Structure 1
Amino acid sequence: MISNIISQEEIDLFVQSIRKYDIEDIGSKSWCEFHEILIKLSQQAIIEASEHREEIVKELLIIHDKLPDLIHGVYTIVVWRAKVLPKLLENSDLPASFFIYTILYHELIIISLLETVLYHENSCESLGELVLDLIDYCVNGITQLIGLIHSGVQNLIEKNIELSTIDELKIHQNEIIFNLAMKDITILSYLSDKISTLSVSASRRLTQTHDVPCLLAELLTLRPWLRKTKNFEKFIDGKWKIVEGDEILKVSKVEVQTWFCLRNILFHRETFQQYEINAFRQRELGKCSALLNDVILDQLPPLIELKQFLCTLQVSQDIANGLNNLILEVIPEIKDKIIEKAKRTGWKNIIEKHKKLFVDMKENEVVEIAKRLSDAYNFEFMADFEEQQQVKNKNQTENETIRCCSTCSKPAEKKCSRCEVAFYCCRECQVKDWILYDVDANTKTGYLVPEDNCGIEIDI
């Protein structure tokens, strides 16, 4: 077990120090200190979750009601990216370009922390009506990624080309947008899984305000987590890794979350009743049924029901569901409040202040900030932790590939072609399991199985 980044006493102090920052405060000394605190809290939360320990960071964030402040912090960077950053990039000379990258990375740190803690139901429930702001943020992040893919931006990155500082910064920005979108998918999956405990408006936000199922269908078609350069590469644990052979066909974590998010929305009563199935949606969602091949279903048996549903959906008439129900919907306010406050301060004043900070920074100030940030990121510690996790995951994967016979528990390679879940080592074991299998198969697939014989054979 790896040691803590910070002690329990420090965690409590750091969590209590979290507060809202305005756009004009970004880059200030107090903001940089806050950035360092978030880095340590995020790293500590990842360690606690990965090692299945008591998640102190998560509990304290809920107790001190700091999740709203984190969502506010994310939107502050979003507005800064849209309103201030383009003005800074008009300057050809940016001596502190790494500092701008730090501001962009700040958003990724907060989302990484939210991704870790929102795995738990009590974290999602504690969001209250702010879950709408988070849903809006995640949907916008995924939409932005799809836009980048369609515009071909991801294919323009060439490692051997000499780039200007501005171009390098833009590439880093696109990389962060990609990483954010991958985490947005996971967060949406967590929220959709716990939709019954969330605000009533959350289900309408996912289905009516935003057409999240069709958005996910587009993602599953594009498969942004897989790319072909000189080799096949998959986005695994926040990094692009070369994959070969069977690894290419193995479903990545992000792809799993995308499928499960779609399944949650279509199978949960709270969301499906709010979702009108028209001809366009039938066509878009129908594309996913073709993607659910045997390779994916073998790895993710719960998706068998989803494929059956999608196939049925393609030949069904339009489903209106309960769209006429009158509900007073809460409107997200965080982004609008941030923009309104910035307007009162004056965009011109904010931009001038940040030009002095990011463009006119002295060399000694650049060196000092770079050193502080390097210490905060603690690269060596996290590299050791990642190495340990990779070894752990490899051992776990090797254990998972050893399939056992459903009857005698001996190693088995032959899978039942009906339920696509049970494995048998021989024909005799399958026959012995027929009586129990009849009940199990009915439960898993919903198909009727003859009582005298399951009628399924495997070639041994």
Structure 2
Amino acid sequence: MELSPVLLYGEAEGMVRSLQSFPLRDTGSGGWLKQHEYIEKLNMQAILNASAGQEEMIKDLLVTHGKVSSLIRELITVEIWKQKVFPVISQLQDFQPRSTFPLYMVIHHEATIINLLETILYHKDVCESAEDLVLDLIDYCHRKLTLLLSRCSAGEIAGQDRLLPSSASETSSLEELKLQAESLEFDVALKCLSVLRYITDHTDSLPLSITTRLLNTHNLPCVLVELLHSCPWSRRSKGQLQKFESGRWLSVPAEDQQKMTKLDGQVWISLYNLLLRPECQQKYNIDGFTRALISSHRDPHRSAAEPSGATAISQLFVSERTGAPKEGADLRAGSRSLGLHYQREFWEMEGDSEAPGEACVLPQ
């Protein structure tokens, strides 16, 4: 049964046309709240179109009217508000709001925008329409992922469950809001993984400054390998393995514990893109530390007799830099097969009927 649309085309176009970047001081104002409502509806319609395989009118409208950059500016503005404004007002002794819902809307605004960007950035024309603001989006995603890694290394429990009603009664409204903000921060960081993966898919059509920012400024391959080591989307609760899927923690049956999740797939495909695409190989200044870190990870989704994905990718990168053509050709064939393996698994999880080789051509 076909789902009814959230928005008609005319309504969606009017909302997209009205999108703008609000200054920090206007966050939470009447006009800002109206735009938040618009973005919520646009996000729901974009997800509905993408999941149903329909024409993605929200994506087309955002590109046509040049509003992707406005979304990125709004995303960064809300991030600044959360870091610089929210901690200050939450510590004021005389700040006792009757309702924290308006504050929650501001915090949730960031998750809504990153969710919308995750849905539409799959398409190359969206990345291209953002122009130089793709650099700011990469910086934003890098900040979120490094913060997630620092929390994991510090032993903090990432991705805590949403506050339950029973515990909410024992917590003040402001403290409850802080807990909700921490939980949303975890969700946003994992959305950034998908956003970065889609950007790496399109490096061949983006300015060279994008590739430089990904590889040499932030050294994202190392960040991705560290994420595979810490695996923050997996945890054990009461002896049961749980993985973070579709915005919630789900228990994993014993027979499915070695299966790759969507988040695993996003990381592996990003690594493949960053280390094996020709335009990335030419720009990446790999050193001994980076090579050792990338080669140290063992892919748990492959048997012991099969090579680690990161090891094969690293060996190929080094062989081509040192001019070993035969070894490089053999490794490229193996790594290309490995990349297709990850692509196929990811496409099957997404339920996409297109063949991976047709939908995302891997570099020769």
TM > 0.5 between the two? yes
- Higher mean Cα deviation, 167-176 or 123-132? 167-176
CA change 1:25–1:141 in 2 (3 A) is same
More divergent stretch after superposition (93-102 vs 28-37): 93-102
Q: TM-score, normalised by structure 1?
A: 0.64
Indicate conservation of the 8 Å contact 2:141/2:193, yes or no: yes
Deviation at 1:221, TM superposition (A): 0.5
Equivalent in the alignment of 1:310: 314
1:105 aligns with 2:108: yes
SS in 2 for 1:54: coil
Deviating above 6 A after TM superposition, structure 1's stretches of 4 or more consecutive aligned residues are none
- Structure-1 residue corresponding to 2:85: 84
Amino acid at match of 2:63: I
Question: Would you say the 8 A contact 2:151–2:158 is kept in 1?
Answer: no
- 1:174 to partner: Cα distance: 1.5
Partner residue, 1:213: 221
Residue 186 (structure 2) aligned to one of 178, 183, 188: 178
Q: Deviations over 1:116-154 (max 9, x none)?
A: 111011111212111111111111111111122222332
Matched, 1:237 2:239: no
**Which residue is equivalent to 1:251?**
260
DSSP 3-state at the match of 2:157: helix
Q: Secondary structure at the match of 2:132?
A: helix
One-letter amino acid of the counterpart of residue 99, structure 2: A
Pairing 1:192–2:200 present: yes
Q: Does residue 1:163 correspond to 2:171, yes or no?
A: yes
Structure 1 unaligned spans of 5+: 322-395, 401-443, 447-460
Which residue of 1 is the match for residue 337 of structure 2? none
% identity of equivalent residues = 32
Aligned match of 2:293 in 263, 266, 284?
284
2:330 matched to which residue of 1?
Answer: none
Q: Which residue of 1 aligns with 2:143?
A: 140
Residue 224 (structure 1) aligned to one of 220, 232, 242:
232
C-alpha contact (below 8 Å) 2:276/2:313 kept by paired residues: no
Distance across 1 between alignment mates of 2:57 and 2:18: 16
State yes or no: 1:203 paired with 2:211. yes
Q: CA RMSD in A?
A: 2.9
| Gap change, CA 1:320 and 1:96, over 3 Å in 2 | farther
Could you tell me which residue of structure 2 aligns to residue 150 of structure 1?
153
Bigger mean CA deviation after superposition, 140-149 or 203-212: 140-149
Q: Work out which of the two has the higher radius of gyration on C-alpha atoms and give 1 or 2.
A: 1
Aligned to 1:228, the other structure's residue is in SS state strand
Deviations 1:36-69 (A, max 9, x none): 1000000000000011100000000000000010
Higher relative contact order (CA 8 A, sep 6+): 1
Matches within 5 A, 1:41-440: 41-91=42-92, 93-154=96-157, 162-230=170-238, 231-288=240-297, 290-291=298-299, 293-294=301-302, 307-311=311-315
Give the TM-score normalised by the residue count of structure 2.
0.81
Q: Deviations over 1:328-353 (max 9, x none)?
A: xxxxxxxxxxxxxxxxxxxxxxxxxx
1:295 positional shift = 5.5
Q: Residue 98 of structure 1: CA displacement?
A: 2.6
- Cα shift at 1:292: 5.1
**What SS does the aligned partner of 1:153 have?**
coil
The answer to whether the 8 Å contact 1:206/1:271 transfers is no
**Alpha carbons of structure 1 residues 242 and 119: separation in structure 2 relative to 1, 3 Å:** same
Q: Provide the rounded CA distance (Å) in 2 between the counterparts of 1:216 and 1:34.
A: 34
> How big is the shift at 1:169?
2.1
Q: Deviations over 1:87-138 (max 9, x none)?
A: 1110353432232121111011011111111101111121211111111111
